Structure 1
Amino acid sequence: MSDLLLPPEHRYAEMIKKRQNEDGSELSILNLGPTHPATHGIFQNILLMDGERVLDGEGTVGYIHRAFEKIAENRPFYQITPLTDRMNYCSAPINNMAWWMTLEKTLDIEVPKRVQYMRVIVMELARIADHIICNSVLGVDTGALTGFLYVFQYREKIYEIYEEICGSRLTTNMGRIGGFERDWSPAVWKKLDEFLNEFPGIWAEFENLLSRNRIFMDRTIGVGPISAEKAISYGFTGPNLRAAGIDYDVRVMTPYSSYEDFEFDIPVGESGDTYDRFCVRNAEVWESLKIIRQAIDKMPEGPFHANVPDYYLPPKEDVYNNMEALIYHFKIVMGEVPVPKTEIYHAVEGGNGELGFYLITDGSRTPFRLHFRRPCFIYYQAFNDMIKGQMLSDAIATLSSLNVIAGELDA
């Protein structure tokens, strides 16, 4: 049997015997995960260790695989949105908006400008929440708990805004084909204004706490680096690619939801190490705040959803009093409205990178095939390559800075 077909622990056992015979050194095999708290999810890494230094490693996925794609192929299009929530649940509204935009592209639906701007606000709030989690938890994994506790209260304030918009917080199921299920209440705009006034000062203090902290810098600079060439070859996107020096951002390269109307910079790093990934995400939070302010200032008038009665639920009052509205409501809820035959791919800039949906329809009420392009699945493949020669403590910080979300990895 080929060595490559053997389980890693068997291959490593042979390497350990060979090394002991050659120079008398003692190697060991370490299981990092699948239930170790520092892995931030249920996935396993089998590491070959020389003392505390990582010589080799192999990752294992599938511990929480839920077959989302196959489930989606047996669900009406409206009922797929809750599945997208449960991938990167740290920024679930971006997943929701990406799915609605994929369907709107499939159905050739023109979305009102106001809806596009509202979606931009929601997606940038989700990006901020995602980066709050990643960077504050990186602080925890390097020994600094204070920053995590300090900024997490503002993640809760973002969730309160979600709650005013759609009634949910973590898994939001936000929006509908063509727009939102209801217009935003005055409470949404009030909470949004409060967040924009309070959060910048808090984020600046968080940056000051870690970005020039000598202990944090020693734990992150030069740790888990990846070159631009290797990052591209693996298929990196998002903050992890930009930290390696490549200024690729889906919002700029292939604009959607009127992102071309806003001015913002694309923060990039140089070395692609853990510190650069931290700094890029910090800078992206400032850019997201800038985009949200522009969207509010430029907010157009108009409806909060497109005029698509075949796909958009009519108001409840009309359903109770109008036969045509009742028929539309029944057909939409039961998934009886067919979608044209097509093959389409749509991607957005998710909190972790390029989040895409590859959809093939055959004219029926469910997708013929649906593939989720999940950035975490790609990052995790590079992890063991990035930590070779590093210390075990460096492996923990590297995995944290990649922001591998198990729900997205194992969809």
Structure 2
Amino acid sequence: MSQRIEYKYRPENLNESAPGLYKESDLKREEMILNIGPQHPSTHGVLRLEVVTDGEIVVDVIPHMGYLHRCFEKHAESVPFNQALPFVDRMDYVAAMNSEHAFVMGAERMLGIEGDIPKRVEYIRVLVAELNRIASHFVAIGTYGLDIGAFTPFLWVMRDREHIMRMLEWVSGARMLYNYIWVGGLFYDLPVGFEEKCAEFIQYLKPKLKELDDVLINNKIFVERTANVGVLSRNLAINYGVTGPVLRGSGLKYDLRRVDGYSVYPELDFDIPVGTGAMGQVGDCWDRTFVRVQEVKESVKIIEQCIEKLTKEHKRTKDFDPRAMVPKKIRPKAQDFYVRAENPKGELGFFFRTDGRSDIPVRCKARACSFSNLSVLADISRGYMIADLVAIIGSIDFVMGEVDR
């Protein structure tokens, strides 16, 4: 089992002419600069890590970003709100539905039409968002297992994720970048028979999650590679603005679906899993992965409730139009506004500044949860071994398209 070796961080070794970079002449004897990435599978995208090592021990880690800059914010400031949605999809491209949901809620609240959205539309939004949450967590869990040598679970979760991808493609016509949740409504109602097919998938998935527990989460090798590694204390997580499963893995029950109670989440019954240190210390890599697996199970419960609501209380009718509330012109009054929602990776927030004269925001700023979560990497990596660093990176679950925005 990995054991952390305490090393004191030495900021005086940083290169003043290039902040954030070490000079070899400043390194102590036996220390070495090692670059991991930006072209490396274990960095989960085009992320470059400048690692100072003493043998196999990590002395310091400096993340270098900007290799996948999306220019999202400037794109969003050059087009109307409704035309910015395709750019929203391309930030966290493995959870596009969830990102759309947050952006659309912001525009609707600024227009004052949030309370007028039909219940069927709201339940469909939550249904597709939770399906996408499962798909996102499957990518995180599967690639994480792959990082530390577990190949079979990766194949299993990719197989089950494919079912979700096909259902979301059936709904929207697109495979990953959906542009399905619109300001005021939806691109289209659910296809005929979708609720039944979704219910069949849920019944298929439940026993598969039990298999995932047995083969990966409770596997002896997986536990030894992740327990007591990359321990993130609750206070440190809060100070860094960490959110999502990374924060809940540190034992804090904080989920915006409960805290803010947006959309129809207050009407649904689900739990907020947190890390308990069952295999090691609270806030270690195992806890973060455990939380994601438990959240998949909670999303299954939410989906079942949404299907029941959509088939019994808010049924499909001939005169139902999911675009009925879509405004012809999205022109909010002059204001500064911030909206946030619980993405699979944490709190995704959008800040808008509008002048009341145009349907194009004067300022659009995205608060990316992957960026904040990645910022804690150095503090939870020092003193561990290089092999542990790979495990720590994977446990954070970030997407570089959202980090660079």
TM norm structure 1: 0.89
| AA matched with 1:161 | M
Corresponding position of 1:295:
306
Task: Indicate yes or no: 2:164 matched with 1:158.
Answer: yes
Distance 1:349 1:79 in 2: 23
Distance 1:361 1:134 in 2: 36
Distance 1:229 1:32 in 2: 28
Aligned pairs, how many? 379
Contact preservation (8 Å) 1:9, 1:29: no
CA apart distance, 1:308: 3.0
CA apart distance, 1:192: 0.7
Distance 1:135 1:10 in 2: 32
Q: Runs (4+) of structure 1 moved beyond 6 Å?
A: none
Distance 1:269 1:10 in 2: 34
Corresponding position of 1:75:
79
Deviations along 1:85-136, one digit per CA (max 9) or x if unpaired, are 1111111101111111111111111211111111111111111111111011
In structure 2, the CA distance between the partners of 1:81 and 1:219, relative to structure 1 (3 Å rule), is same
Deviations along 1:213-263, one digit per CA (max 9) or x if unpaired, are 111111000111110000000001110000001000000000111100011
Corresponding position of 1:250:
256
Task: Indicate yes or no: 2:31 matched with 1:38.
Answer: no
| AA matched with 2:286 | Y
In structure 2, the CA distance between the partners of 1:229 and 1:118, relative to structure 1 (3 Å rule), is same
Contact preservation (8 Å) 1:8, 1:58: no
In structure 2, the CA distance between the partners of 1:367 and 1:280, relative to structure 1 (3 Å rule), is same
Deviations along 1:381-410, one digit per CA (max 9) or x if unpaired, are 111111100111111111111001111111
| Match for residue 214 of structure 1 among 216, 220, 231 | 220
Task: Indicate yes or no: 2:381 matched with 1:387.
Answer: yes
Contact preservation (8 Å) 2:185, 2:325: no
Compute the RMSD of aligned alpha carbons. 1.6
| Match for residue 63 of structure 2 among 59, 63, 76 | 59
CA apart distance, 1:12: 4.4
| AA matched with 1:60 | H
| Match for residue 133 of structure 1 among 126, 135, 139 | 139
Contact preservation (8 Å) 1:151, 1:203: no
Distance 2:144 2:343 in 1: 19
Match of 1:11, SS state, is coil
Corresponding position of 1:316:
none
Alignment gaps of 5+ in structure 2 = 1-11, 277-281
Distance 1:309 1:241 in 2: 36
In structure 2, the CA distance between the partners of 1:233 and 1:304, relative to structure 1 (3 Å rule), is farther
CA apart distance, 1:6: 3.7
CA apart distance, 1:205: 0.5
Match of 2:272, SS state, is coil
CA apart distance, 1:15: 3.2
In structure 2, the CA distance between the partners of 1:187 and 1:397, relative to structure 1 (3 Å rule), is same
CA apart distance, 1:306: 6.1
Contact preservation (8 Å) 2:184, 2:326: no
Pairwise mapping of residues 9-408 of structure 1 onto structure 2 (< 5 A)?
A: 11-16=22-27, 19-20=28-29, 26-109=30-113, 110-270=116-276, 271-299=282-310, 300-301=313-314, 303-305=320-322, 307-308=324-325, 310-311=327-328, 338-363=331-356, 364-408=358-402
In structure 2, the CA distance between the partners of 1:309 and 1:49, relative to structure 1 (3 Å rule), is closer
Match of 1:360, SS state, is strand
Corresponding position of 1:322:
none
Distance 1:384 1:349 in 2: 25
Structure showing the higher helix proportion among its residues? 1
Deviations along 1:43-66, one digit per CA (max 9) or x if unpaired, are 111111111110012111111112
In structure 2, the CA distance between the partners of 1:306 and 1:267, relative to structure 1 (3 Å rule), is same
- The structure with the larger Rg is 1
| AA matched with 1:379 | N
Alignment gaps of 5+ in structure 1 = 21-25, 312-331
CA apart distance, 1:193: 1.7
Distance 1:309 1:15 in 2: 60
| AA matched with 2:222 | F
CA apart distance, 1:4: 5.8
CA apart distance, 1:14: 3.2
Contact preservation (8 Å) 1:9, 1:46: no
